[in-house]
Amino acid sequence: MTKRFVIALIKHETNTFSPIATPLSSFGHGNGPYYGEEAKVAFAGSNTPFAAFLDIARREGAEAVTPIAAESWPSNMASRATFEALLQPLEAAVSAGCDACFLDLHGAMVVEGCDDAEGEILKRVRRIRPGLPIAVTFDYHTNLSADIVANASVITGYKTYPHVDMYEAGMLAGDILARSLRGQAKPVMAWGWLPLVSSIMRHAPEDGPSGDILRYAREMETSGRVLAATLLPGFAHADTPYTGVSAVVVADAAAGGRDAAQEVCDRMLAIAWERRAEYVFHPEALEASVARARALGAGARSGPVLLIDHCDNCGSGGTQDVMQVVEEILKQNLDDVAIAPIRDPQAVAQMIAAGIGNNVNLMLGGKTDMPSIGLAGRPLPVSGRVVSITDGEIVFTGPMYTGLKSYLGRTAVLDTGRAQIVVTERHHEPFDLVIFRHCGIEPVKKRFIMLKSRIHYRAGFKPIASHIVECAGAGVTSADLSVYGYRKLVRPVFPLDAI
């Protein structure tokens, strides 16, 4: 009889300090979730675990049932009603009968009344069919819990940041589960967790201890000692009891893998703990960063100088309208600058009303208050000419989310003379050159590029950059952990406490 695989995607990175709401419509990147066959159409062939799961179902000759694919960009927690609306199609599909479940989850989702949404999703699926084999992939920024591990059969996560191995992570988890269904493996997992709030600015493999830990994890996989070894450096902007650095390792119990899984997991976490000081980010003053970028731009260069506005990264729940870094760039008279994206629907409407070729005076950005960190929105007065207007529909061609479609909302470009500023209706992290190219700006030719991003910009922009300067503005993705009034973290925790 044909096997039936339930494949679903429910993903949200929840920044519990973000002022941005997360209605059901935000899943699907603003257009609501995909249900049933349309989920397959949207994700087939993309660089995502969901696409890998579809390929595994085809390979195994199984029927792929795709009740829901729902991903929202990061923001604050969804309501309980929204969460139930996301879970309902998945629960219905599992109840209807299936042989295995493949879940593409984030790992840092918090919803109203539940600090561990992924643990809840897995518990609910398992409750319907207690013995069901379940494979799960997680984002690198996962806060792992005991409920998650207890209710999954196989867990893997991304090993890259920027995340360019999403499909690979899905293939690894899905393949192990498929082998277990054929009786060729008996997956067993070991996991561990550290009271360590690591800065996302130090998560990239080339920046902190993660690179060495990931190298070790890959060695253990390729040597066959374990089936999958995953490092999860955590998500510091979700205030939960699960926030921390963790690791989870899958091995084959039939081949005596239980001990191997534990040993590999312990070794990965030992490296993270020994080198925990390297997970702390030490920012430079904004004025000094912009001056340094200006000097780099004046010298001989092989490409643009990137200015990274990392404290207002909408890819982690930032409002994308904090204007401090833009203000400093204009104040220090940097020339030939492209900036993306400022989210300001009001300004977009004004620019569209003015029309291409006409001048406008705007109070740009600064429309959102951030009460959780005591920061009020402060718009920046700017004048310039409207040079481009688009519907904001883009397709990624770079290494991240390759092939997926996304939506910036209506988009307009303001040219101030020195700077071209891309202003959008929706939140969107700039990790692909399409963010500029779709509205007529060629990023390769610019002297300076300012991006509201933290690490993911590296996927598309690092290859074209001559220099990268991290600029500490302000916002709900600040690298300064002291701005967050944490209430739920397990204490003591490094680096907030001396341990």
Minimum CB separation of residue 497 from Zn ion in Å reads 25
Residue recorded with tokens 């699907």: 28
Minimum CB separation of residue 74 from Zn ion in Å reads 9
Residue 163 or residue 447: which is nearer to Zn ion going by CB? 163
Q: What is the contact mask toward Zn ion in residues 426 to 465, using x (rule: CB under 5 A)? A: ----------------------------------------
Query: Cα–Cα distances in Å, from 156 out to 168, 230, 247, 270, 480?
Result: 10, 6, 10, 19, 30
Residue 40 or residue 141: which is nearer to Zn ion going by CB? 141
Residue 6 or residue 400: which is nearer to Zn ion going by CB? 400
State the Cα–Cα distance between residues 136 and 114, nearest whole angstrom. 19
- Work out the number of other CB atoms within 10 angstroms of the CB of residue 471: 27
Q: At what angle do helices 166-181 and 49-59 cross, to 10 degrees?
A: 30
Residue 276 or residue 456: which is nearer to Zn ion going by CB? 456
Q: 108 is written with which tokens?
A: 């840092």
Beta strands 245-252; 405-407: pairing state: unpaired
Minimum CB separation of residue 204 from Zn ion in Å reads 11
DSSP letters of 382-397?
EEEEEEEEE--EEE--
**Which pairs with CB-CB distance under 8 Å and at least 24 residues apart come from 265-270?**
265/190, 265/191, 265/192, 265/229, 266/192, 267/216, 268/213, 268/216, 268/217, 268/229, 268/231, 269/192, 269/193, 269/194, 269/245
Minimum CB separation of residue 140 from Zn ion in Å reads 5
Residue 118 or residue 139: which is nearer to Zn ion going by CB? 139
Minimum CB separation of residue 161 from Zn ion in Å reads 7
State the Cα–Cα distance between residues 342 and 312, nearest whole angstrom. 10
Judged by CB under 5 A, the number of residues near Zn ion is 3
Cis omega before residue 492 (within 30°)? yes
State the Cα–Cα distance between residues 91 and 109, nearest whole angstrom. 18
Residue 89 or residue 162: which is nearer to Zn ion going by CB? 162
Minimum CB separation of residue 338 from Zn ion in Å reads 25
Cα-Cα end-to-end distance for the chain = 56
Minimum CB separation of residue 136 from Zn ion in Å reads 15
Minimum CB separation of residue 141 from Zn ion in Å reads 4
Residue 93 or residue 108: which is nearer to Zn ion going by CB? 108
- Looking at residues 129 to 158 of the shown chain, list those that interact with Zn ion (rule: CB under 5 A): 139-141
Residue 159 binds Zn ion, judged by CB under 5 A: no
Instruction: Give me the phi and psi of 318, to 5 degrees please.
Output: -70, 155
Residue 141 or residue 447: which is nearer to Zn ion going by CB? 141
Q: Which residues of this protein are in contact with Zn ion, per CB under 5 A?
A: 139-141
